[in-house]
Structure 1
Amino acid sequence: MSENTSATLPIVVIGAGPSGLAAAAQLIDRGLEPLVLEAGQTAGTAVREWAHVRLFSPWAEVTDPAAEKLLAPTGWVRPDSAAYPTGGDWAEHYLQPLADVLGERVRFGARVTGVSRTGRDRVVDADRDEQPFTIHILRGDGREERILARAVIDASGTWATPSPLGGDGLPALGERAAADHVSYRVPDLKDPAVRARYAGKRTAIVGSGASAFTALAYLADLAKQAPGTHAVWILRRGITGSTFGGGADDQLPARGALGLAAKAAVDEGHADVVTGFRTTAVEKSGAQLLLVGEDGRRLDPVDEVIGLTGFRPDLSFLDELRLGLDERLQAPVGLAPLIDPNVHSCGTVYPHGVKELSHPEQGAYLVGMKSYGRAPTFLAMTGYEQVRSIAAALAGDQDAAERVELTLPETGVCGGAGLFDEPTAQTEDAGGCCGSPDALRIGGPGTAAAGG
């Protein structure tokens, strides 16, 4: 196919979530034609699955400038910039209107099953970069289809692939068999059926991030209304000054408050803490479950388990592309050092764009949560900056692509994420930005949040 013909092809964006729709808006702003392929039937399909959870970023930080420019002629007005939307608010009042404006540029019920170069598997070098991308999709009615594209931006996220309970990254023995009593999502306790599942029950929460904080806060609030409700918070590391996040030092106040809410759940006796525990097996104990650790410890039985140990990217449909991924995080090699939780310290992830997100396969990009691989702490505005830079590069504006147009807030947390037991001397220090936050009492779970 000639270069001129290839230039008339659309740029395919995989996923109609926040980063994917922002990518489409940025491309249109640059005079380029996007085609968004979304497996679900609505915009923000994944976001809607945590509609009950409040973001820790306000409206001012979760809308993209190019998207707002597209929405403005429709009469759309951004909600109160200082207010914190729930996932449901975000989807209903921003993502869906944006998809509606994009119109036929968004195709729902189109699941991408494979991406490659036309006539070239990953082994073939000859004229590789001159060939358009071929994207195989499966429609909701079972029909298969092939689409050609000049570039591919994968913004499909990681929501569909939560990490298992096992401390070695594999499902713990018995985890699959216990599936009826294991969840990998923050529970929506406003749903009567979900509430009944946890009310008056003993629940293990495995994980140490924002989602675990949220679940702890939710269950602590439920415990005040339903006697017998209790949480067991299971950490693979020990308790350090950074365990509960940045507290008052966090420049995202709602994120800091979230950590304080988790600490309050523990301090007020609604949750016990088990440290240095890596799950190796889930055993049945009558109608309950018993977690077994690598060190042989056997915890007291629980009724339910909530695994919130992070997410990982689904790379299976990209197997024919030549991606340059870090061997640990499964993030682009240029980005991985900036987000590695083993070494990430005070400050924040440096703003980044096309340079850090490029691969040996020219014209293929992973953006949004997908670009972070297994790393945590992704923010929506990081994704918006990523797609702004990539759209500029695809339009041939290299100066704009390389220009940084984003300042991220400090986390107030130093040291690595404590992926193993031994805390660093820095995180043990009670001074500086890592001092243990005071046990402040804050509002109920309505103020809890998940990553935006």
Structure 2
Amino acid sequence: MTASPLPIAIIGAGPVGLAAAAHLLRRGERPMVFEAGRAIAQSIRQWGHVRMFTPWRYCTDAAAVALLDAAGWAPPPPDAVPTGAELVADYLEPLAALPAMASAIHLDARVVAVTRRGCDKVRTMGRDALPFVLRIAGPGGALRSVEARAVIDASGTWQTPNPAGADGLPALGEESLAAHIATGIPDVLGAARARHAGRTTAVIGGGHSALNALIDLAALREQAPETRILWIMRKARIEAAFGGEDLDGLPARGALGSRARALVESGGVTVLSPFRIAEIRAGGTHALSVTGEHAGHPASFAADELIVATGFRPDLAMLREVRFTLDPWLECAAGIGPLIDPNLHSCGTVRPHGARELAHAEPGFFIAGMKSYGRAPTFLLATGHEQVRSIAAALVGDAAAAARVELVLPETGVCNTRPAAQAPIAVAAASSCCAPAVAAPPPAASCCGTRQEAAQ
């Protein structure tokens, strides 16, 4: 197919955005990649100290590897598990440096809005024939506009973490006390060591980011024995946080859960679960006093620092003039909501999907990568590569390739958790006048149930 005179715009120069560019180049298209940061993969660099749980064979894209191989790239061992920094240095930076890729990438170029030329989202007549217009903020905030025939938003969700508050809003006081609150997986053994060594840190969240933070804090305590660790979760059943362990199709992910279990069983972490945070105040015996509800009763705990690892959500502000279609509770593409709902699925039980499921009401517009999952935490990088392979095929009119599935994922997560008969782990009572024992948890939802059943 003859390339359009207009480029295809890609928002974000992370692994999925660069993979999209590689697939489009392979098909003779002209991609333009806009990266808000001053370097590619800016978000990954912020968790570069963290080792991933997926080996290299699930971290690279086929079209990107083909470009690298042609340039004499030496691939890493397929079964080795990289850190974020290694993913950038050994794969993404060499990919971005290839001449065809380098000329397509625009750094320090934040997309602040997407629309159609000469009309807002209300107008329908003739809309599909109009090019997209991206408003881009460059160095110093200077604005410019770029036209494109299609747009792939692969900007991710790292910049918009979920708050500590249990109701989806920041807890009262959370924003004003941000100096004592970190999100994601801070480098507690490196750059953030002084904030946590010898102090009390509460890790909030029940996913793998929280497990990483707990394990790093435990390593820090070996160097600074006065370090104290709290683990705050909304889960009624702490065992659910450990995942499949030795039954997990991703061994490194399973090992992470096993290490966290051992840490809890050894008494190295004080667990408060289920705990729902309502307010964070300054002062008291530590820098922060956190109040909320523990097992249905008012309760509180004190800490010097909080690590909020409660997941992420998409920033949709720049898409205000785009006709996109969202799942009502996940804020993902509507077509994949039932496929990725974390009430039902782990990342290994999500069926591979592509352009058809990711389509929106705006023809030529797609959200790919982590942002396509909205608030769901079940994303795997390999899934994003399959998404953009299919999207690239659809954009050049190759319907057969767009519909084809070229990905097999490992089995992992809630469908492979340990048997429920295993003895439950005891949790601590939060500080309150009469903290009760934790109530017996409800049975876990099966991934084979309906979406509505698991959501209740």
> Does residue 1:76 correspond to 2:69, yes or no?
no
Any stretches of 5+ residues in structure 1 without a counterpart?
Answer: 430-452
Matched residue, 2:117: 118
User: Alignment partner of 1:233: what SS?
Assistant: strand
After TM superposition, the structure 1 = structure 2 runs for residues 14-163 of structure 1, keeping only pairs within 5 Å, are 14-101=11-98, 102-163=101-162
Deviations 1:211-267 (A, max 9, x none): 001011111111222111121111112125432111111000000111111112211
- Contact preservation (8 Å) 2:4, 2:29: no
Specify the alignment match of 1:445 in structure 2. Answer: none
CA contact (8 A) 2:214 2:229 kept: yes
What amino acid is aligned across from residue 291 of structure 1 in structure 2? V
For 1:195, give the aligned amino acid: R
Name the residue aligned to 1:317: 318
- Greater mean deviation of Cα atoms: 66-75 or 129-138: 66-75
Specify the alignment match of 1:265 in structure 2.
Answer: 263
Q: Secondary structure at the match of 1:278?
A: strand
Corresponding residue for residue 444 of structure 2? 427
- The one-letter code of the counterpart of 1:121 is D
The answer to whether 1:355 aligns with 2:353 is no
In the TM superposition, residue 412 of structure 1 has moved relative to its aligned partner by: 4.1
CA shift in 2, pair 1:371/1:345, >3 Å? closer
Instruction: Pick closer, same or farther for the CA change 1:422–1:169 going to 2, 3 Å.
Output: farther
Percent identity for Structure 1 against Structure 2: 51
* TM superposition shift of 1:136: 0.4
8 Å CA contact 1:37–1:110 kept in 2: the answer is yes
Query: Structure 2 vs 1, CA of residues 54 and 197 (structure 1 numbering), >3 Å: closer, same or farther?
Result: same
Could you say what secondary structure the match of 1:51 adopts?
Answer: coil
CA distance in 1, matches of 2:62, 2:4: 26
CA distance in 1, matches of 2:441, 2:175: 35
Give the Cα–Cα distance (whole angstroms) in 2 for the partners of residues 65 and 391 of structure 1: 13
Q: For 1:397 and 1:346, how far apart are their aligned partners in 2?
A: 28
Structure 2 vs 1, CA of residues 188 and 241 (structure 1 numbering), >3 Å: closer, same or farther?
closer
CA contact (8 A) 1:42 1:96 kept: no
Q: TM-score, normalised by structure 2?
A: 0.88
Distance in 2 between residues matched to 1:389 and 1:45, nearest whole Å: 25
Q: What SS does the corresponding residue of 2:93 show, helix, strand or coil?
A: helix
Q: CA deviation at 1:290?
A: 1.2
Q: 1:422 to 1:135 in 2, by over 3 A?
A: farther
Written as runs of structure 1 = structure 2, the 5 A alignment for 1:181-260 is: 181-191=180-190, 193-239=191-237, 241-260=239-258
Determine whether 1:8 maps to 2:25: no
Equivalent residues of 1:415, 1:426 under 8 A apart: no
Change (3 A) 1:262 1:92: same
Deviations 1:347-396 (A, max 9, x none): 51000000110001000000000100000021110000000000011111
Task: Report the number of matched residues.
Answer: 421
Higher relative contact order (CA 8 A, sep 6+): 1
SS at match of 2:240: coil
Q: Is the 8 A contact 1:159 1:311 kept in 2?
A: yes
Residue 172 of structure 2: aligned partner: 173
For structure 2, list consecutive stretches of 5 or more residues without a partner in the other structure.
418-437, 447-456
User: 2:291 is matched with which residue?
Assistant: 292
| Per-residue deviation, 1:63 | 0.7
Whether contact under 8 Å (2:134, 2:146) holds in the other structure is yes
CA–CA separation in structure 2 for the residues paired with 1:367 and 1:144: 25
Residues in 1 aligned to 2:347 and 2:155: alpha-carbon distance in whole angstroms: 29
Does the CA contact (< 8 Å) of 1:240 and 1:427 recur in 2? no
SS at 2:69's partner residue? helix
CA contact (8 A) 1:187 1:194 kept: yes
| Alpha-carbon offset, residue 343 of structure 1 | 2.6
- Write the mapping of 1:286-435 to structure 2, written as runs, cut at 5 A: 286=284, 287-294=286-293, 295=296, 297-344=298-345, 348-414=349-415, 427=444
Query: Structure 1: how far apart are the matches of 2:130 and 2:415?
Result: 45
Counterpart residue number, 2:449: none
Give the whole-Å Cα distance in 1 for the aligned partners of 2:374 and 2:235. 21
Q: How far does residue 285 in structure 1 lie from its aligned partner after superposition?
A: 2.4
Look up the equivalent residue of 2:110 and give its one-letter code. Answer: R
3-state DSSP of counterpart to 1:147: strand
CA RMSD of aligned residues (A): 2.1
State how far apart, in whole Å, the 2-side matches of 1:306 and 1:242 are. Answer: 20
Equivalent residue of 1:300, what SS? strand
